[in-house]
Amino acid sequence: MIVPGFFTKENSATSQDHFPHIIVFVGTVGSGKSTQIKLLTSKLHKRGLNVKNTFIETNHIFAYLLLLLLARILTRGKRGVYSIGALIEEKPLIFKKLFKLWLTIDLFSITLKFILRVFFPVKMGSIVLVEGYIPATISDYVYISKRMALPLKTSYFTVNFMLRLLHVGGPTQVIFLDARANTLKSRWRLRGSLYERPDYLNMQRTTLKSLSKKLSSHGLLQINTGKLTIEETHKLIVNYLASFDRLRKENRTLQCGDAI
């Protein structure tokens, strides 16, 4: 059941102190993040709100192009493997030497997108729905560093800069979606996407989930989408977010009572 009055223009203006204007969807690959973002965007638009959606992920734009070029030149073009995975597996020494350069380029690309697609829209009063964002990016850096046996201090500056971006962006609500391995594989097969490494999925269920709990402004909502329909998952997310509206109303009532 949707809470009456949830996400109206009035609520958007008066609940700024409690309702995060950045809603982040993270979780395992194929768990339904993009689908839920589309559904929530549509619902908020129907309520008359200004909503933007985007994705911010590791290996973004320029960093992706760099690794794609290197993978085509230096590796055998193995099918079913991402360019970054191909370089790590076949040319680990070269990738280690280029890691700091890649991090710098990735940081520049992500910062630029953050400013244009998250920071400015939030400042203009929009609600921004983001797939990935800072928690996923930092977790990926940690995963790559461990896989390459690189000291974590190598990405220390980048991680701290990312945390500053998160702070600048403002209150952030994180939603973590997951499903069983067999369900995820079925979804990858249906959409024709590459299969993910088991250790990468494990990282998402441990490091990413733990980090998301710490960085989410109002606790972490976790949903197993394999046990629910798309619509049931959507309703669960909407009802959870509606609790921020109830919090606003309760606090406003308390403030009025205190004033009396």
pLDDT attached to residue 259? 35
Q: Looking at residue 2, what is its pLDDT? A: 34
Residue 195's CB is within 10 A of a number of other CB atoms, namely 14
Contact 134, 176 (CB under 8 A): no
Residue 49 lies in a domain: yes
Mean pLDDT by 10 residues, the chain (260 residues): 42 48 96 97 92 94 90 78 87 93 95 97 95 96 93 90 94 96 95 92 96 92 96 95 65 37
Q: What is the pTM of this model?
A: 0.87
Confidence at residue 258, expressed as pLDDT on a 0 to 100 scale: 40
Note the pLDDT of residue 4.
36
pLDDT at 246: 60
CATH code of the domain containing 151: 3.40.50.300
Q: For the stretch 80-117, what's the b/e string if a residue is b when 16 or more beta carbons lie within 10 angstroms of its beta carbon?
A: ebbbbbbbbeebeeebeebbeebbebbbebbbebbeeb
Could you tell me if residue 27 is left (phi over 0), alpha (psi between -120 and 50 degrees) or otherwise beta?
A: left
CA trace torsion 89, 91, 94, 99 (10° rounding): -20
Find the domain containing 37 and state its range: 9-57+103-259
Is residue 73 in some structural domain? no
So what's the pLDDT on residue 244? 72
Domain count, the chain: 1
Q: What share of the chain is helix, strand, coil (3-state, %, to 5)?
A: 65, 10, 25
In a domain, 191, yes or no: yes
What pLDDT is stored for residue 27 in this prediction?
A: 97
Per the domain annotation, does 72 fall within a domain?
no
233 within a domain of the structure (yes/no): yes
Residue 30 amino acid letter: G
Report yes or no on 45 lying in a domain: yes
Quickly count: other Cβ atoms within 10 Å of residue 232's Cβ.
12
The pLDDT score that the predictor gives to residue 248 is 53
Quote the CA–CA distance of 251 and 16 in Å, as a whole number: 12
Residue 70 located in a structural domain: no
